[in-house]
Structure 1
Amino acid sequence: MPRAEHPITRKEISPNALKVLYRLNSAGYEAYLVGGCVRDIMLGQHPKDFDVVTDATPEQVQEQFRNCRLIGRRFRLAHIVFGREIIEVATFRGHHDSNENAADLGKQTEHGQLTRDNVFGTIDEDAQRRDFTINAMYYSVADYTVIDFAHGVQAIQRREIELIGDPETRYREDPVRMLRAVRFAAKLDMHITPRTGAPIPQLAGLLSNIPAARLFEEYLKLFLAGKAVKTFELLNHYRLFPLLFPCLDGVLNNPQGREMQLIEQVLINTDNRINNDMRVTPAFLLAAFLWYPLEERYQRLLTESGLQPHDAFNIAMSDALIEQTKRLMIPKRFSIAMREIWQLQWRLPRRFGRRAQTLFSHPRFRAAYDFMLLRAEIEGGEAHEVAQWWTDYQEASNEGRKKMANVGSRKPRRKRGPRRSNKVNNGDA
């Protein structure tokens, strides 16, 4: 597609990405923008990340840039660092074959999953190795053309998410492609074609072979892009959500249950915040997803073990996190925040006396208060009473807060009996 037939201009491209393209071209290498950045500009959107593909090997790319570092074992990549912006440069991927070099650089499991994929090839082979047709468009800064290998423009016009190649084979090569199909469909307001979507429910179990750290990165992309509600609907439709959150598998078929109501409401709130440029934390969403499984575990410990409530709650929190991190490797900075949000659900009802100001000054108070508001909408009762009290407390003056905190802290005085004399009579032994 020559320049006159597509909307991509250099004004839409990061200056740092242009530097990478120009330098690789001037060194005699082919270099193209590829994937999401090309797709987004074709859709009339403004991409945030720019990926480059080239016929230069990672080592040859590193020779051209002092600010380059090589990363990855499964996929060897070059990251060129410009302050806070990183331009990712990949070498054209080739086909796996039986020769000794390819056998060493590309390896598969018995399920067909690629564990190493450092077989290099041509741009034509690289296009065939791309996942979806909308991601197989290449932009050249040398002549300003776009090469559309897999009819990506037609897929954009039809609003279709379509895999390149045999869907079952491509999903087995990398099961995360099932999550990517859902993410792109939700993010771009497209639909997954029947051919691409049909194998997903049967192959969803392959996600259990994916490292938990990689699945956590996918969780962030799925739920923190402003399309969490639609994403959840698609994950549930294709039976992918239980592979990310096994503890919630039993509640997905009960839309009226409190678990589903909490999930849906927290997803709506998350989308609203992101789409209004407000801050969100992954910990809040995770805390909401796991709250009722945690509470169920807590009640079971109270009944079966005879533990004190405080001890049972701490053990239930640890159990919930341990089970979830088997599937999503939650970084410590988020798991600590989740614990604090949960602990404050326990402490917020105990709000009188000096405790009120102590809780109000807690760094995680606002997140815990927002969480209590969510619970109040669903549970009513005590949760509603506590949430309303803290709402009033925040709106009150300093003097008003002191009065509110003191109302429940005064204990009635015990009536004392007559004092006994401590004097000892002379006749007493």
Structure 2
Amino acid sequence: MIKKFINRVLGKKSKTRLLRIPVNQHKLTREQILPCALKVTDTLQQAGYSAFVVGGAVRDLLIGKTPKDFDVATNATPEQVRDLFRRSRIIGRRFRLVHVMCGNDTIEVSTFRASAATEEDDTKQITDDTGRIVRDNVFGDQESDAERRDFTVNALYYDPSTEEILDYRGGVADINNKILRIIGDPATRYREDPVRMMRAARFAAKLDFHIDETTRAPIAELAELLGNVPPSRMFDEMLKLLLSGHALRAVHQLRAEGLHHGILPMLDTILEQEHGKRFINAALHNTDLRLQAGKSVSPAFLFASLLWHELQINYQKRLSRGELAIPAFNEAMEDTLNQQRNRLAVPRRLDGMMKEVWSLQARFEQRSGSRPYRLLTHPRFRAGYDFLLLRAESGEIATELAEWWTTFHVTDEETRASMLLTEPVSTNKPKRRRRTKKPAIAVTHE
């Protein structure tokens, strides 16, 4: 109470030193900002509010990358922002934000947050027993908002009207030195939001930055706090990591920081096995190449790849108990997805495609008669074929099978007919047991 009184009367001493960096030093111009983000900042400023492009967009532009999103920070409240934009909506419970839409673009607008709840606002900032903030709509000024950002490289504010960068925490210097440094006491910040530990691994991989030693130190000890994060939020963060274009390095960064346990089952064991490691590395490497080439990646295909070996483990356990192959495989798929959902809430809308990709693998081994032709017409043929190529690349199956399908699906009908095998190729999976036909029973009517 005494400390709060002194801070209120004398003013709390600032921990920041604001640097105003002009455009002739940082070279980031207004023309590099997404037009929708310019519209949002211009409208807010014309209405008398402060408004800045903030965070990752500024960071990425400074290092020569194309930002995925442009976020805006302002001193206007969510209600005031919504009143200025016809196509806007307030979202969020933990943090109330505004989404402003311009055509196909959406700009996320946040109100400056306070660095700590005041005595009057204690009811608005709620934490759980571990210190994780579960609700926080305490608004503050720009300096306190910078204190609340996670890493120094994300605490940068770009003013499109003056083309200045406002740097409160030395983020520009850390960018130049390729250092990822958390703002404030690392242990406290990780307790407030354990996902920050995953973000450290993701940013280090994406930006090719070195994690500051003080920032890294508490991670291994506090990794178990990720178990307190809602599975839906864990899925969102994991998806960002996997679709960052640097997933292979990011996954290995997770392991290096001791954060992999329990997030994805395959990360706990598969990366310790040479065979599984090759498959996962191939899947993540191909994902990165597609994203870096501007191609799309299906989250369902990606998670089907990551959970493939967990599925195989579940399947083999059922076979060892004497279950029939097809029912065992179907039950193993359900088990794998349900086990994963307890930790990472993979949406059920992805289940259908994942199961189809998995189930198609056995059908690729059938290269006789009309079955290959029927498989070509399957809606998921291309996804299943790409999955087959991953298995061949990792050494899980013979490359001859993948090469056969590579030729078969693009060649002419005459060549296809000549490629068909006279007898089905044996499969690694037990075939469905044929029922012995019982002799017909004569029925007489008396």
Give your verdict on TM over 0.5. yes
Q: CA 1:3/1:109 → structure 2, altered by over 3 Å: closer, same or farther?
A: same
For 1:325-404, what aligned pairs fall within 5 Å after superposition?
Answer: 325-379=341-395, 383-404=398-419
Indicate the structure whose relative CO is greater, using CA pairs within 8 Å and at least 6 residues apart. 2
For 1:265-284, what aligned pairs fall within 5 Å after superposition?
Answer: 265-284=282-301
Computed over aligned residues only, the root mean square deviation of the Cα atoms, in angstroms, reads: 1.8
For 1:271-350, what aligned pairs fall within 5 Å after superposition?
Answer: 271-304=288-321, 306-350=322-366
Structure 1 residue corresponding to 2:272, chosen from 242, 253, 256:
253
Opposite residue 361 of structure 1, the aligned amino acid is: T
Aligned residues of 2:266 and 2:306 also touching (Cα < 8 A): no
For 1:21-420, what aligned pairs fall within 5 Å after superposition?
Answer: 21-97=41-117, 99-100=119-120, 102-254=121-273, 257-304=274-321, 306-379=322-395, 383-405=398-420, 407-408=422-423
Note the C-alpha offset of 1:97.
Answer: 3.3
Note the C-alpha offset of 1:395.
Answer: 4.3
Q: CA 1:11/1:210 → structure 2, altered by over 3 Å: closer, same or farther?
A: same
| Structure 1 unmatched ranges of 5 or more | 411-429
Does the residue aligned with 2:409 lie in a helix, a strand or coil?
helix
Cα deviation code 1:328-378 (max 9, x no counterpart): 222233221111110001222123212111111112112212222222233
- Report % sequence identity: 47
Opposite residue 181 of structure 2, the aligned amino acid is: E
Partners of 1:144 and 1:247 in 2: CA distance: 46
Note the C-alpha offset of 1:241.
Answer: 2.1
Partners of 2:112 and 2:119 in 1: CA distance: 18
Of stretches 4-13 and 273-282 in structure 1, the one that deviates more from structure 2 is: 273-282
Does the residue aligned with 2:122 lie in a helix, a strand or coil?
helix
Partners of 1:377 and 1:116 in 2: CA distance: 46
Does the residue aligned with 2:262 lie in a helix, a strand or coil?
helix
Cα deviation code 1:22-77 (max 9, x no counterpart): 11111111111110111122223332321111111100111111111000000000
Note the C-alpha offset of 1:409.
Answer: 6.5
Note the C-alpha offset of 1:139.
Answer: 1.5
| Structure 2 unmatched ranges of 5 or more | 1-20, 426-446
Does the residue aligned with 1:244 lie in a helix, a strand or coil?
coil
Does the residue aligned with 1:242 lie in a helix, a strand or coil?
coil
The aligned residue for residue 423 of structure 1 is none
Aligned residues of 1:108 and 1:114 also touching (Cα < 8 A): yes
Note the C-alpha offset of 1:164.
Answer: 0.4
Partners of 1:110 and 1:209 in 2: CA distance: 10
Of stretches 398-407 and 342-351 in structure 1, the one that deviates more from structure 2 is: 398-407
Task: Give the structure-1-normalised TM-score.
Answer: 0.90
The aligned residue for residue 3 of structure 1 is 23
Indicate the structure (1 or 2) with the bigger Cα radius of gyration: 1
Of stretches 161-170 and 294-303 in structure 1, the one that deviates more from structure 2 is: 294-303
Aligned residues of 1:7 and 1:41 also touching (Cα < 8 A): no
Note the C-alpha offset of 1:16.
Answer: 1.5
